[in-house]
Amino acid sequence: MLELQRVIAVIDPNNESQPVLDKVLTLAKLQQFELELISCDYTQYLVEGYYFDAVDVPRLREEYLEERKLALEALAGPLRDQGLNVETRAIWAHPAFEAVIHEVQRTSADLLVMHTRRHGAVSRLFLTNDDWQLVRCCPCPLLLVKEQSWKHEPVILAAVDPLHARHKPSGLDHKVIRSAEDIARAMNGEVHVLHSFNQTPLSGTYLEQAQQQHQQAFQELMNDFEVSEDRQYLVEEAPEFALSQQEAKLNCDLVVMGAISRSILSDVFVGNTTEKVLDYLNSDVLVVKPDDFESPVKPRE
């Protein structure tokens, strides 16, 4: 499922630590691929007519990007020494997430890797952060990494939604589990599968029927995979809380989830489970998209 030929890693050269590169090196031990390190930069100091004479702005911007390019090359050197085929590119862009997606589209990348941090309530509401925009818009699988390293034999938790209560395409759950299995197989890890649901308060027969529906749908999905019953979890809880609790119990290294694109207005009023989960988890998150996914960010002509 995760057949990697080209991987793009988003880098901030100013960071002292580069957890993105640590995860890229881990993946490179599993299969060979071409790697591109990109830096997307924008500063008001170099906006035409803002601080400098308009004539100087293009030259200053070029010098700024050249410095970023040199910083990327410094990071690329040790990777090349380990046998990776690495390219670097510094891009002037605002908003940054659109430039990243355009680069994914231009190169037909198979995976995008990016560092992510916790966000405040306001930024979460209005989806102003690039990583959340990439969850919504990136056409290829997206690996959002935190600081911790993966164990030698990682624990991987696949989050599924077999009743598609959040309108996910029917094939996405299979893609999520297969992606988790691919990584686990390559690293001798173990896969666990969780389906959580937050049931609207009902009474009597209606509540029992709803629980049975979730149980049946989850069981039908798991019949297609060889995951032992003791690694299958059906939990009546809001997904972000259930995932956080199960991640802590299992000491997970990676959570694999599916995501689809919706309008920003829909995300504000309905909520997006994948984006909310990012702030509840300590492990890395691999976000996969359905086969027919179309990014709302259109390719450049």
Q: How far apart are CA 126 and CA 264, in angstroms?
A: 8
- What is the arithmetic mean of pLDDT over 88-116? 93
Q: Is 143 a domain residue?
A: no
Which one, of 223, 140, 225, lies nearest residue 182 by Cα?
Answer: 225
Q: Which CATH number fits the domain that encloses residue 3?
A: 3.40.50.12370
Summarised one tens digit per residue, pLDDT across range 4-22 is 999 999 998 888 889 999 9
Number of domains in the chain: 2
Q: Are residues 163 and 275 in the same domain?
A: yes
Q: Are residues 257 and 108 in the same domain?
A: no
Q: Is 41 a domain residue?
A: yes
Q: Are residues 69 and 200 in the same domain?
A: no
pLDDT exceeds cutoff 60 at 182: yes
How high is the pLDDT of residue 113? 97
Going along the chain, which residue ranges are E strands? 6-10, 34-41, 85-92, 111-115, 142-145, 155-160, 190-197, 232-236, 254-258, 284-288
Q: Are residues 107 and 210 in the same domain?
A: no
Mean residue pLDDT of the chain comes to 84
Q: Are residues 111 and 173 in the same domain?
A: no
Q: Are residues 110 and 229 in the same domain?
A: no
Q: What counts of helices (H) and strands (E) characterise the chain? A: 10, 10
CB of 258 closer than 8 Å to CB of 168: yes
Q: How far apart are CA 32 and CA 26, in angstroms?
A: 11
Q: In angstroms, how far is CA 1 from the centroid of its own chain? A: 16
204-213, 244-253, 257-266: least confidently modelled range = 257-266
pLDDT exceeds cutoff 60 at 79: yes
Summarised one tens digit per residue, pLDDT across range 30-76 is 999 999 999 998 766 656 555 555 557 777 888 889 999 999 999 99
Q: Are residues 192 and 299 in the same domain?
A: yes
The last residue of a domain, from among 66, 100, 115: 115
- What is the arithmetic mean of pLDDT over 268-278? 55
Q: Are residues 4 and 91 in the same domain?
A: yes
Summarised one tens digit per residue, pLDDT across range 219-236 is 999 999 999 999 999 999
Q: Are residues 111 and 153 in the same domain?
A: no
| Spatial strand order in the sheet of 155-160 | 85-92, 34-41, 6-10, 111-115, 142-145, 284-288, 254-258, 155-160, 190-197, 232-236
As to burial, measured by CB atoms within 10 angstroms (0-12 exposed, 13-18 middle, 19+ buried), residue 240 is: buried
**Domain that includes residue 153, residue range:** 148-301
